[in-house]
Amino acid sequence: MATQTQKQISVLTLSTLAFTTCFTVWMMFAIIGIPIKKMLSLNETEFGILVATPVLTGSLIRLPLGMWTDKLGGRIVFFVLMLATVVPIWLIGYATAYWHFLLLALFVGVAGGSFSVGIAYVARWFPKKRQGFAMGIFGAGNSGAALTKFVAPSLVVAYGWQSVPHVYAVAMLIVAMLFWIFTYTDTTHHVSGHITFRQQLAALKDPNVWKLSQYYSIVFGGYVALSLWLTKYFITEYGFSIKTAALMAACFSLPGGVMRAVGGWISDKIGAHRLTWWVMWVSWICLFLLSYPQTDMVVQTTKGEFALHIGLNVWVFTALLFVLGLCWAFGKASVFKYISDEYPDNIGVISGIVGLMGGLGGFVLPILFGAIVDLTGINSGIFMLMYGITWVSLIWMYLTEVRKLPMIRTAGADPLE
């Protein structure tokens, strides 16, 4: 008979592995979408729609999955979810038309809903003082966005893009079986059967939930969108091959996933508000610098013309992306620390709502990225958009939290100077 500690470790380990696998699958169009774009002669907007389509399903399904997790338990919901994606993943390898890919991507996108299942399932296995760290470790499964950048390009180069969905389908099936064998069910974690879905959805009337959703649309929605877009960005902006571009893009995706556990630990120590505030400020600065396009200027001086080039070289650009990914990893953890602190009895539903809104950000942004590039021809326009969205969160946070901090600060957080 396993002890409680052994159950906690097993649930956390297998849930993190399952979420990593789901996220890897969810992000695979960031890589296979590039040869598909060439094969189908897609423009930038059509490419944006293609890579974003799985994110749409994964976002919309997060709320009902969170509700079912509260009612039925995370183990069964997570297991069924993974099994439901195996066949659609496999069939992508046989698709030939644009609508084939879009239709299958909708079904594959269900894997992205795994977050709202796993976060509620994991959180309830741990005491409140350790929930931030536990949820951070689970959330590190976002590193699947980086994993697919290491695995998928090699498969594409060696065996063709069709091999990627076939390998991923087999991996998903194996991980689903391991998850079911090595995890546990605790019925005391389920919400009362007397609580209706309508009562659960009452959380939608809470303005604080919408504020957290806005934060998450940046730190998670932005993370998903850039993870989908950056490989192609490095190819078009700096002329790299798909393998090199994917590795460079992983400098953003990897810290953006793995360091989430550290963000959870910091949230436990200093409070969700304080960490989120600094995440937004550092993100704002990075996005401002990333927004500036490659510019050549000729200045007329008394001694003649003076040529000037302004723009980020690839190393400075990648370093800023690394810092941005690190910040958003911390921010993803701190937003869910807010949830566990303020909604301990309704984690599944609240995480579903916040995750849905964050995921919708990850769906809408790549489409807007494509439209911006098609309309302006400026690659860095995508960062200009993210810069503006971050401004909204900073202003909202200042008006509702910083000025009122003595009344609402979380335990362990000191007022900002």
Average pLDDT, the chain: 86
pLDDT over 80 at 412, yes or no: no
**Average pLDDT of the residues in 331-335:** 87
Q: Which of 387, 388, 109, 82 is nearest to 228 (CA)?
A: 109
Provide the pLDDT confidence category of residue 206 given band limits of 50, 70 and 90: confident
pLDDT over 50 at 202, yes or no: yes
> For residues 415 and 312, is the Cβ–Cβ distance under 8 A?
no
What pLDDT score does 345 carry? 67
What pLDDT score does 397 carry? 85
pLDDT per residue over 180-191, tens digit each? 999 988 777 666
One-letter identity of residue 261: A
Provide the pLDDT confidence category of residue 29 given band limits of 50, 70 and 90: very high
More confident residue, 409 or 345: 345
Max CA-CA distance within the chain? 85
**Average pLDDT of the residues in 28-52:** 92
What pLDDT score does 404 carry? 67
Residue ranges of domains in the chain, CATH in brackets: 4-184+194-408 (1.20.1250.20)
Most confident of 118-132, 163-177, 359-373: 163-177
**Average pLDDT of the residues in 282-300:** 90
> For residues 344 and 128, is the Cβ–Cβ distance under 8 A?
yes
Q: Which of 30, 16, 295 is nearest to 140 (CA)?
A: 16
What pLDDT score does 363 carry? 85
Q: How far apart are CA 257 and CA 278, in angstroms?
A: 18
pLDDT per residue over 89-104, tens digit each? 999 999 999 999 999 9
Q: How far apart are CA 148 and CA 141, in angstroms?
A: 12
pLDDT over 90 at 163, yes or no: yes
DSSP secondary structure code for residue 306 in this structure: E
**Average pLDDT of the residues in 336-361:** 79
The dihedral formed by the CA atoms of 268, 269, 273 and 275, expressed in degrees to the nearest 10: -110
The dihedral formed by the CA atoms of 179, 181, 184 and 185, expressed in degrees to the nearest 10: 90
What pLDDT score does 353 carry? 82
Contacts of 3 (CB under 8 A, 6+ apart): none
Candidate from 43-47, 138-142, 156-160 with smallest mean pLDDT: 138-142
Helices (H), 61-206: 62-72, 74-91, 98-108, 114-123, 128-139, 144-159, 163-182, 197-200
Q: How far apart are CA 68 and CA 186, in angstroms?
A: 15
